[in-house]
Structure 1
């Protein structure tokens, strides 16, 4: 089940944007860069779990959360990081919530685009209005994790069926016009954000580590993280290469370039609308859990009662859905938003913070031969911060330009 859950997470709708990432970076550089980021995320995820395990061992407790583990690890390190450590739980909570908010918004953008293409509507706004009631209903009905898991299982089966049909659709006549490597920084950072967003599964991994009877299978040589993350990474690269090979350069995910005059393409769109809708509640669950945890443990002297927490959760779920739909209304562009989310959130949660924790836990003199671990983690932090600052800025700029273009009077869809 642990293998299934992580594979289910990484084989989500994010695979559909891989052809765009490959088209931006090139037919040779793209897969190399994607596999490199996949290996990097496997390493940082294992490093994160080992850091949390070491903290729990020293405290003689069975488990510690990412939020408080980050705080204790950073406070153990050099004094210069003490300010970050004291605000550690709030920092992790903000980035985790933003990450889940971004993922859920991506789901809404994907489904609204697909519904618009199926119904041949001129605007996403009509599709958003049509999708809002079922999304709210699903969120209202799925009050327990067990119900959410069963519905998500059905969505996963549909998602895998859609992925098989997408691969079948890509095996057509190639466009025969390719680029093999990008020669500019912007498309590379654009693709790196997509890789970070789609190949990371830190939320799922933390939940698995918490609930497994033997958490060591997560980080073993052929454990859940190495196998469960690398296999989807390789498959994602194959889908990306096939999509670029078949359809060439694209602006959004591969669903937007399928020939809608064919029955197979319409079936693919329909399958993904249903599967992504079913998968949406399980992506909302961690975000609401973060909010509840922050409220519950914000002040040790004032702990909210069970009824109060239940009310907050009851009102928080529909508000979260409305928030994702609102963001989608203003930013209805899946590809740049995926890259923006990856660079802004995943780069910090999955790369920078685990590397910082490892540096602090090994402080002052456990960095190995010639300070290998210190140098390696500093390079990881530099890479993550570069993605966070430069990558997020460039992707935000692309979103800004596309919004201006959409609202231009010269746009045929301008109202």
Structure 2
């Protein structure tokens, strides 16, 4: 499931976020003016000054709330700080909310993809001992950061009197009440978040192109003749462009369901091969790998585990969002299963293939067995369909956040042509990058370290520090202050330092290996 980008700011909107929750039974002022926003997966108003930020991941239409606008706040509206007894959870009106079990399943489904298939190669970089401990540590850290992000969003929603906030809006609202020296970066923070989201999503698309082409190559090489992997990427280019021309994601819903089924079945067959015949003894594998490869392990594990955008969208669409957090909440249960699954795949894959572990464990499966080739075809087909979903996020951010306003004077036909030019350019950009560096494991590590260190480990503690900076919180969130000696701030800074370390060192190591691949 893709990240959600920032909501579209209404033309002429001011710098402050205002809100006015609808009264019970109230309807939107102009039902005819609503339009679908694929980024937030929600319906928005065409009326300047009104903006919906409700998420409906299952495709349902959410209720509309006033959360943006210029000038003075509307009658009955609130400025930040006028919390009273407003409960954001009570004001979420969704047509198709998910229950706890459905949310748990959605999180598990979102964790099964190219990331989990790369875990054996990650364990090769770390060694099985450090791989197990490191995966558990990074998984715990990611889970904790998701908790503080969700908790900070709740506090901000209470202050702003809005039911939900997406990631960029959360950052802007947090900086607005954070340290004074930081507030001057409020406007830039939205663009920074959007930039990381765009780069990350384009990175996923590059990984998908390499993944599909490499798996198809192994199949065709066995039954026909060997060709360069770039030839298969070139063959994929036209269908990927046409796939990205689909204007409505609902058209892909049946194919997405089929892709999920193929992924689950394929993963089961992969486990059969990993635990099947010929498994070496653990003494034949390294307990700790080469220290110079540790940053690659961090990047790959972050790419596989971190799903901040998915978590925000799922929590916002829950029927009982209060059950999402807590020690026995949906988030902890889902992440526990996910981490155990990743450790299992990583350890068993490294134990089976050792130094031969590749960027996807499917590439290590036998090439002379039909079942193994079927698994590769299933994963290739599933990832191919998912490519369009990943392209939607950078497309919507670039189009609605940065281009559509400058094209107001263009005719609808001209705007539509330019939109399809952008759709084509996004696919070609990911294709060219994949052709330039057809190394699956390096792509995964690079984009995991570069983007998810920031989105998952740096920004959430920063948001929490800003939210709790002044200590001016109400009784509803009074347990979440900076604490004695500002220990919560110290803890947040420590997590941010680790995230920045992963970002800088992990990105440098991946880029260094990419450069070496050209030599």
TM-score greater than 0.5 by the shorter chain: yes
The alignment status of 1:19 with 2:126, answered yes or no, reads: no
Q: For structure 1, which segment, 289-298 or 13-22, has the greater mean C-alpha deviation from structure 2 after superposition?
A: 289-298
Within 1, Cα distance between the matches of 2:507 and 2:405?
30
2: CA distance between counterparts of 1:381 and 1:320?
31
Which stretch has the larger CA shift, 380-389 or 203-212? 203-212
Give the secondary structure class of the aligned counterpart of 1:63.
coil
**Which runs of structure 2 are paired with 1:16-415 in the superposition (5 Å)?**
16-120=117-221, 121-141=226-246, 143-171=247-275, 172-176=277-281, 177-184=284-291, 186-249=292-355, 250-295=357-402, 313-365=419-471, 366-404=481-519
Structure 1 pair 183–129 and aligned structure 2 pair: CA distance change class (3 A): closer
CA contact (8 A) 1:44 1:351 kept: yes
Moved over 4 A (4+): 296-299, 302-313
Cα offset, 1:318, TM superposition: 2.7
**Alignment gaps of 5+ in structure 2:** 1-101, 472-480
C-alpha separation in 2, matches of 1:383 and 1:303: 47
In 2: Cα distance, 1:15 partner to 1:315 partner: 33
SS in 1 for 2:165: coil
The answer to whether the 8 A contact 2:125-2:290 is kept is: no
The 3-state SS of whatever aligns with 1:127 is helix
Tell me the secondary structure at the aligned position of residue 87 of structure 1: helix
How high is the TM-score relative to the length of structure 1?
0.90
Structure 2 CA distance for aligned equivalents of residues 320 and 80 of structure 1? 37
TM-score, normalisation: structure 2: 0.73
Q: Secondary structure at the match of 1:109?
A: helix
Contact 1:93 1:294 in 2 (8 A): no
Instruction: Give yes or no for contact 2:114–2:360 (8 Å, CA) kept in 1.
Output: no
Unpaired stretches in structure 1, ≥5 consecutive residues:
405-415
Could you say if the C-alpha distance between residues 294 and 45 of structure 1 is closer, same or farther in structure 2, counting changes exceeding 3 Å?
same
Going from structure 1 to structure 2, the CA distance change for 1:183 and 1:332 (only over 3 Å counts) comes to closer
TM superposition shift of 1:268: 1.5
* SS state at 2:373 partner: helix
Deviation string 1:196-252 (CA, Å, 9 cap, x unpaired) is 111011122232234344433332444332222331221111011111111111343
User: Is the CA contact 2:175–2:182 (under 8 Å) kept in the aligned structure 1?
Assistant: yes
Q: Check whether the contact 1:155–1:278 (CA below 8 A) recurs between aligned residues.
A: yes
Whole-Å Cα distance in 2 between the matches of residues 206 and 306 of structure 1? Answer: 33
Q: What root-mean-square deviation, in Å, do the aligned CA atoms of Structure 1 and Structure 2 show?
A: 2.4
Question: Which protein shows a greater Rg?
Answer: 2
